[in-house]
Amino acid sequence: MSGRTHAAPAAANGYARPRAWLWTQMLLDSSSWVVALLLSLFLRYEMDFGLVHVSGMVTVCLVAIAAQLTIGGLFALYRGRYSFGSFDEAKALLLVTVTVTLLVQIVLLFVGVTLRVPRSIGLIAFPFALLFMAAARYLKRMYVESKSKPSEHAPHAVIYGAGFLANTLIAQMLQDKQSPYLPVALVDDDPAKKHLRINSVPVSGNISTLRQVVRRNGASVVIIAMADVDPALVERINAELEGLDVRILTAPPLKDLFGNTQGSSLDLRDVSLEDIVGQRAVDINVEGIARYVTGKRVLITGAGGSIGSELCRQIDHFAPSELIMLDRDESAVQATQLSITGRGLLDGPDTVLADIRDPEAMHEVFATRKPQVVFHAAALKHVSLLEQYPDEAWKTNVLGTRNVLRASAEVDVEVFVNISTDKAANPTTVLGHSKRMAEKMTAWMGHHASGRYNSVRFGNVFGSRGSMLPLFTEQIRRGGPVTVTHPEATRYFMTIPEACQLVIQAGAIGDPGEVLILDMGQPVRIYDIAQHLIRMSGRHDVEIEITGLRPGEKIHEDLIGEGERGTHRGHPQISHTLSPQLDPEHLDRREWKARGGMPPSRELPLIVPPPEADADADEARGGAA
């Protein structure tokens, strides 16, 4: 129903009740009492119509009608307070009917003989009146729902899971004419729900018969309506639907479902790779984190990046005295500010536009803002591109890190966390060598500066900018092929929030100069990831093309390098190891060249700065092309 200006207030479930409906309801309730009283009188007289006293019966009917409308009005039964056919309306209707019955009985006890009407008909009429009024409401609800449900031509959906979330989801789908899907069947593995129906949608089988249920109902969508879905279950559903042109979606958590204020009844999303690989629960020592972050001035480099922005959002929850977001990409840092404050004006002290390659800028920012905790997330990270342009890796990942380390030491930063990568363990690429040098400089600073300086090493993260997942998704959207370097290549994966939680935790437990390695779980085969994404997209014509390993690329990544030994202490998901040290003041690219950081075609002049050279001259020599 449309909510025109003359309509009664909208009911809780979204129906608007025009006054015509309310007048109709009053008429139906009055008629229900008349029919119920007449029926009770005929039953009382054993269908002998000659014993009925018409005038007395009319009086009793008028009393019942007046009482129903009056008491119903007091209970707001005719003011649009209750949803059609809801439990709340049923409860109110029962109370009103009992009260009306009592009033009719009182009248009959005193004047029933005079009216020549049996004094028992009020009690006999009670269940009939209640039944007729409830039936009218139920029929009205069925009518309204039939008008609001999506068309039979809408894509049919099978719901996996017949719990509370499915109940809420189906109700929303059936009450929204614009719903993109029409629920036609439920699937659940609980034998007790074998004959269950939710809003007339039946449980038609379990996961073993999912394929048959989908085919029988002509469904093009399977919606997983379960909280905290087990990755093994998602994989099983994928396997059951192999070869079918069926899209798999997951329902949002209840908190998001109930918090939807955008007017859309559904907020379904495609099954993601995180659902299949699984997200591990992270054990966070809140007190330890709060001790070194809360009330402190915290600076984050690369605040506009995937890791940096999530670090900003998470650290903001620990109430630092200042959160300083530094990046050279103004649009990226604006997006981070917007996600935290709801304002993207870039006019406050929380955003700093600067490049870590600029030593003077780093010195000025740190001297002015005097951060106490620093998370260094700014870096170049694309393997293939840095293989072509290794000088850029040197300038950003090596010299840029040195600039940040120098500036941190000058203001006596208390905690410094360098965000590293698994490619720094046994490095074979320009990226890996540059990040390895950053780890060594951080380790040196940890033994020569006043604060705690350490690095945190982890692998790939889901959804980061430039990662393989957005690349695969776009290739699938274009119809393929999906390019995979090697059929047996594996990588470690974790979600961005998960990685950032452990990074923050690592900052609380790391000793000076250590490299902390996050538990990434089991490595995942990239070829399997490509297969999963193609299957989830429903585009089974997309092919996978094996392109071969790129220069320096490994089939399997390492988290712990040769000569390193990871030990656990303080946190089960973080291991500790020691890193060789490299004095940031004596960079000369010798290790860069010796370790393969610079291909022969791009070797730069080897310059060893004299010890007496000042910082500016050292920087100029170190960064010369």
Q: Is 619 exposed, middle or buried (0-12, 13-18, 19+ CB in 10 A)?
A: buried
Spell out, as residue ranges, where the chain has pLDDT lower than 70.
Answer: 1-19, 46-52, 84-85, 113, 145-146, 148-149, 231, 252-284, 286, 463-467, 536, 538, 563, 590-625
Strands 415-419 vs 16-18: parallel, antiparallel or unpaired: unpaired
- The DSSP line for 13-81 is TS-EEEHHHHHHHHHHHHHHHHHHHHHHHHHHTTT-GGG--HHHHHHHHHHHHHHHHHHHHHTTTTTT-
Q: Report the C-alpha gap between 616 and 190 in whole angstroms.
A: 71
Q: What CATH number was assigned to the domain covering residues 156-271?
A: 3.40.50.720
DSSP 3-state percent helix, strand, coil across the chain (nearest 5):
50, 15, 35
Residues 6 or more apart whose CB falls under 8 angstroms from that of 484 comprise: 526, 527, 530, 544, 545, 546, 547
Is 217 within 8 Å of 204 (Cβ atoms)?
Answer: yes
Q: Report the C-alpha gap between 10 and 286 in whole angstroms.
A: 44
Residue span(s) of the chain under CATH 3.40.50.720 come to 156-271, 294-623
pLDDT at 79: 78
Q: Which residues of 448-460 are buried (b: 16+ CB within 10 A; e: fewer)?
A: ebebbbbbbbbbb
Q: Report the C-alpha gap between 506 and 518 in whole angstroms.
A: 9
Q: Which two tokens stand for residue 35?
A: 């029919």
CA of residue 338 relative to chain centroid, distance: 18
What is the amino acid identity at position 105? Answer: Q
Q: Which CATH class is domain 294-623?
A: alpha beta
What is the amino acid identity at position 271? Answer: V
Q: Which two tokens stand for residue 407?
A: 């500036």
- Residue 523: HSE in the Cβ half-sphere, 13 Å Cα cutoff: 15
From residue 485, alpha-carbon distances to 98, 426, 526, 530, 533 in Å are 76, 20, 9, 11, 16
pLDDT tens, position by position, 285-308: 767 788 899 999 999 999 999 999
Is 553 within 8 Å of 485 (Cβ atoms)?
Answer: yes
CA of residue 488 relative to chain centroid, distance: 31
Q: Report the C-alpha gap between 339 and 517 in whole angstroms.
A: 28
Is 459 within 8 Å of 273 (Cβ atoms)?
Answer: no
Q: Which two tokens stand for residue 485?
A: 């370097």
Q: Report the C-alpha gap between 612 and 543 in whole angstroms.
A: 60
Predicted structure pTM score:
0.61
Q: Which two tokens stand for residue 302?
A: 């690369």
pLDDT at 490: 84
Q: Report the C-alpha gap between 5 and 255 in whole angstroms.
A: 32
Reduced to 3 states (helix: H, G, I; strand: E, B; else coil), residue 86 is: coil
